[in-house]
Amino acid sequence: MNIQENYDLARHNTFGISARCKRFIEYTNEDEALQVAAWLKEDTDPLLIIGGGSNLLLTRDFPGTVVRAAVRGIEADVIDEVDTEHCVVQCGAGERWDDVVAWCVEHGCYGAENLSLIPGDVGASVVQNIGAYGVEVKDLVLMIEAVEIETGQMVVFGRADCQYGYRQSRFKQDWRNKYLITRVLYLMQRQFTPLLDYGNVRQALEQRGITEPSAAEMRQVVIDIRKEKLPDPEVWGNAGSFFMNPVVERAVYEQLAAQYPQMPHYAVDKEHEKIPAGWMIEQCGWKGKTLGRAGVYDRQALVLVNKGGATGEDIVNLCQAICKDVNDRFGIQLHPEVNII
């Protein structure tokens, strides 16, 4: 277990913003998580549970305890001798998500390839319901093992318990800061079936002369696409996509489509359409622009970046200015995907 006092969280958020917490705790196994839960139950200070910090914007010092899972380990097993289509991959909550995807591809456990190179840890993946190129992690979750802080008991949740939605789960709502996740079990396919018809994945494969990709080829093309669109946090601090893509009622979409015939969109269901937030931000002229020490990435308008020395407030000010312009032009309120503290 790692316990630090007056701890700088700069290396625990991909914006690279320096902010201190009163106490920082990392647990490395279930027994330590149980011990931490016992402490937290008696602690009156504020609590913040984090993952890899890739979905976190710190605007101030945190006057309480920050807890992070550092449970490691990846292993796979068949469900039983009858089920030849699936396998279960069990991961420590502190494993890097992309390391898990790489391991799965190497060991013949398929389904996560489209989620390659998404930053963050395994525990955070099921809190945030990460997604990309037509796949969400909820599609893969089988069970989540955790410690309930209030009772100090080990608990297990199934996929349905978490009430997953677009970038949402109960862990972000009524379960916020109530559980210490220790392990996640993913249900993977033993036969690779590529999902190609989202974004420009198929086009990128065709440019390489690949019509029937292997899992490794699929993973690599997704990595290359993401690297082309997203800045390296080591160069420019960022949290990837800063805003959620808004889902609007069909009547709203049709009204906007009449004004903007080239507007991209994705059907959600018969009553709703998803409109890319990045497209609207770009139409408002923000792509590549800066506001103080924060800016909008010049290759992907969804990404806000620390241009050097930005504070959390600098990023928030930029976020608010963008939201105002998008709302004024399109009548749509953007919502951050990032957790702002």
| Residue 329 designated active-site | no
Residue 278 φ then ψ, to 5°: -60, -40
* The residue to which tokens 């796979």 are assigned: 76
Active-site residue, selected from the candidate residues 32, 95, 273, 337: 337
What radius of gyration do the chain's Cα atoms show?
Answer: 21
| H helix intervals, 230-271 | 250-259
| Residue 116 designated active-site | no
What is the distance in angstroms between the CA of the first residue and the CA of the last residue of the chain?
Answer: 25
Active-site residue, selected from the candidate residues 167, 170, 250, 293: 167
SS3 325: helix
Distance between CA atoms of 256 and 80, rounded to whole angstroms?
Answer: 51
Q: Can you read off the two tokens belonging to residue 318?
A: 């930029």
| Residue 169 designated active-site | no
Strand segments (E) across the chain: 2-8, 20-27, 47-50, 56-57, 62-69, 74-78, 86-92, 131-132, 135-136, 141-148, 153-158, 179-189, 237-241, 247-249, 266-269, 272-274, 290-291, 294-296, 303-306, 339-340
Beta bridge partners of 180: 147
Active-site residue, selected from the candidate residues 32, 113, 241, 273: 241
Residue 107 φ then ψ, to 5°: -105, 15
Distance between CA atoms of 21 and 63, rounded to whole angstroms?
Answer: 6
DSSP string for residues in 66-106: EEEE----EEEEES-SS--SEEEEEEETTSBHHHHHHHHHH
Active site residues per annotation: 167, 241, 337
